[in-house]
């Protein structure tokens, strides 16, 4: 039996999902201007009414002593994993870029450095095991390397077991980005990075996996996920 008070209009649901994605990706609530633009509304008064309705139905609450700060308490049961986690939309490079295709297209080869866990940590692998071709347009933007995915903890971000991820080398990342993180200098994992006060949270995109919390001195960013290679053959 449905509780009529918990049912949302399309605009209410879209606003709630936008607020949730913004908080997950940046750690802060969106501004009223951002919310207005996301729904293509002409004025902020409509946003005030939508927020009041979401608050009355128990989906969000306003945080005291913080201007415009919101907390998402729950999401609609009809929200998909993509609605909840979609901060990274993978740019998939289809498999089959053989040498003949490589000559026809403008591509660049990068090293694949082994496997990385998308579930539990594994020992970091630094040795090149193969090479793959990526578009030259991608390779121009920094130095890249590939890693083979082992596990299913990031499937709700569109990253599957067996995919090869394309990683841009970096030692810093923005809140909410999916990164290759090195833990205690010997274990590597693929997770969404979230800074929470004095600790770093490494989040999975699969509800079956718990968020891992570390002190900042234990986590080193090795690179940022920019694309992935998937063989459809």
pLDDT tens profile 114-129:
888 766 555 555 678 8
207 is known as an active-site residue: no
Domains and CATH numbers, the chain: 4-79 (1.10.10.10), 92-230 (2.10.109.10)
Note the pLDDT tens digit of each residue in 13-60.
889 888 888 777 667 788 888 899 888 888 888 999 999 999 888 888
Catalytic residue among 21, 191, 204, 227: 191
Q: How many angstroms from the chain centroid is the CA of residue 53? A: 28
pLDDT at 67: 63
pLDDT of 185-210, one tens digit each? 888 889 999 888 889 999 988 888 88
Q: Please tell me what DSSP assigns to residue 63.
A: P
Residue 179 backbone dihedrals phi, psi, to 5 degrees: -130, 160
Distance of CA 186 to the CA centre of its chain: 23
Q: Known catalytic residue: 227? A: no
| Catalytic, out of 29, 153, 204, 227 | 153
Q: pLDDT by residue (tens digit) across 74-108?
A: 877 655 444 544 445 555 555 544 444 444 456 78
């Amino acid at each position: 039996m449905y509780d009529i008070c918990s049912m949302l209009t399309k605009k209410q649901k879209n606003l709630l999902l936008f607020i949730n994605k913004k908080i997950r990706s940046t750690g802060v609530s969106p501004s009223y201007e951002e919310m207005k633009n996301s729904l293509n509304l002409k004025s902020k008064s409509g946003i005030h009414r939508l927020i009041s309705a979401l608050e009355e139905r128990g989906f969000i609450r306003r945080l005291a002593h913080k201007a415009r700060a919101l907390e998402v308490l729950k999401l609609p049961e009809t929200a998909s994993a993509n609605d909840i986690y979609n901060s990274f939309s993978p740019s998939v490079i289809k498999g089959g870029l053989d040498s003949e295709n490589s000559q026809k297209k403008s591509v660049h080869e990068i090293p694949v450095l082994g496997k990385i866990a998308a579930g539990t940590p594994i020992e970091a692998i630094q040795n090149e095991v193969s090479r793959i071709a990526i578009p030259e347009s991608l390779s121009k933007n920094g130095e890249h390397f590939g890693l083979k995915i082992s596990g299913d903890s990031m499937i709700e971000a569109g990253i599957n077991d067996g995919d090869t991820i394309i990683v841009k080398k970096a030692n810093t990342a923005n809140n909410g980005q999916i990164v290759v993180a090195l833990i205690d200098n010997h274990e590597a994992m693929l997770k969404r990075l979230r800074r929470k006060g004095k600790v770093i949270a490494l989040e999975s995109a699969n509800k079956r996996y718990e968020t891992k919390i570390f002190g900042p001195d234990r986590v080193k960013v090795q690179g940022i996920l920019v694309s992935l290679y998937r063989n459809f053959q």
